[in-house]
Structure 1
Amino acid sequence: MKDHSEAQAPKETGALIDHILTRYHDTHRGQLAALVPLADRVERVHADDPDAPVGLAGALATLAQELESHMAKEEMILFPAMRAGGGPGIAHPIAVMRADHDDHAGNIALIRSLTNDLTAPDHACGSWRSLCQGIAQLLDDLATHIALEKDELFPRFEPV
C-alpha cells in the first residue's frame, strides 16, 4: 500500500525536516532492526530450500549500514545547515545525499532479486511471507522518503 506522507508533508522547512526524521529515519531504523534478524532466521531455517533468499540478511545489513551512514550525515550536517538557512556551502552536502540515494539502487535491486521481487513462494512459512511484506513496506517507505527529499526539500536550497 502506498504511503501518502509526501502529500501530507509540512510546507515549512523545519517542520518538513522533523517529519522526515520521525516518519522516515526512525521508521527505517526500526524496520531494518526487525528485518535483518528475520531474514537471517528465514535463511537458516530454509537453508535446504532452493527458493530460500540466501544472502538476503547480508544485503539488508548492508542497506542498514548505508542508510545509517546517510541518515547520520543528514542529521549531523545537512539538516542543521538547512535549519540555519542554507548558504553557499550547502550545495556539496546536498550533492552527496543525492549520490547516496542513487547508490542505494544497486542494493535494492539485489534485495528484489533475492526475494523474487518481494514474492514469497507458495510453500513459504509465515515468517518468510512476513519478511517479504516487511521488505516491501521498507522499500515503499524508502522510495517515498527519497522522493520527498529529492523533489521537495533539496530543491529549496539549490540554485534554480
Structure 2
Amino acid sequence: MEQPIVTDTLILDPVILTNHIEKHFHARHREQLPLLIELANKVEAVHAAHSDAPHGLAAALSRFHDDLVEHMHKEEVILFPAMRQGGMPGIEHPIHVMRADHADHIETAEAIRRLAGNLVLPEGACRTWAALYEGLGEFLADFADHVRTENEQLFPLFEH
C-alpha cells in the first residue's frame, strides 16, 4: 500500500514518488488547464476593450497545455516506468531533457503570470475574471510544486 506524500518530507522510493506525481500533479494539470483556457477565452472576449484584460492569455495557456501534455506523456510512458524498475543505462539523458523542458516551462509560467497582470484583478473585475486568476494562481503554485518535486526529489535519485 502506498504511503501518502508529505510535501516537506523527502521521499526516496521512486515507485511511490512517480505514482504520486502522476496521480496528483499530472491529473490535476489535465483538469486545470482546459478550464483555465475556457475562462481566459471568456474574459478576453467580454473585456477585449479593457486595458487590463489579459490579452493573449488563452493562446499562451493553450500552447502551455499542449507542451505540458506532451512532456507528461513522455514521463509516463518512458521515464517513470524505467525509474520504477530501478533505472536504466543512460537514464541521465532523458532526465536532462526533462530538466530542460522544466526550465522552458518555468519561463512560460512566468510569462503567463505577467500576461495576467501578476494575478492582480482590476477594480470591478467580474466573477469569471476572478475565477480565472484564482484558478491560475492555484495552477501556477501546483506547477511549481510539481517541478520542484521532480527536480529536487525524483531526478537526484537517478543522477550519479
Same fold per superposition (TM over 0.5): yes
- TM-score with structure 2 length normalisation? 0.92
Q: Cα RMSD over matched residues?
A: 1.5
1:62 corresponds to 2:63? yes
TM-superposed deviation, 1:88: 2.0
Q: Compared with structure 1, are the counterparts of its residues 153 and 18 closer, same or farther at alpha carbon in structure 2 (3 Å cutoff)?
A: same
User: 2:82 — aligned with what?
Assistant: 81
Distance 1:14 1:77 in 2: 14
Count of matched residue pairs: 156
Alignment partners' CA distance in 1, 2:138 and 2:78: 28
- 1:7-45 Cα offsets, whole Å, 9 max, x none, are 257542111111100110000010001100110011001
SS where residue 82 of structure 1 aligns? Answer: helix
* Superposition map of 1:1-160 within 5 A: 5-7=6-8, 10-159=11-160
Distance 1:24 1:9, change over 3 A: farther
| Letter of the structure 2 residue corresponding to residue 67 of structure 1 | L
SS in 1 for 2:91: helix
User: What is the Cα deviation at residue 149 of structure 1?
Assistant: 0.5
Contiguous gaps of at least 5 residues in structure 1: none
Unaligned runs of 5+ in 2: none
Give TM-score scaled by structure 1 length: 0.92
Letter in 2 for 1:48: A
Given that 1:24 and 1:142 are in contact with CA atoms closer than 8 Å, whether structure 2 keeps it comes out as: yes
Distance 1:73 1:67 in 2: 10
Task: Give identity over the alignment, percent.
Answer: 47
Query: Given residue 44 of structure 1, which amino acid in structure 2 is its aligned partner?
Result: A
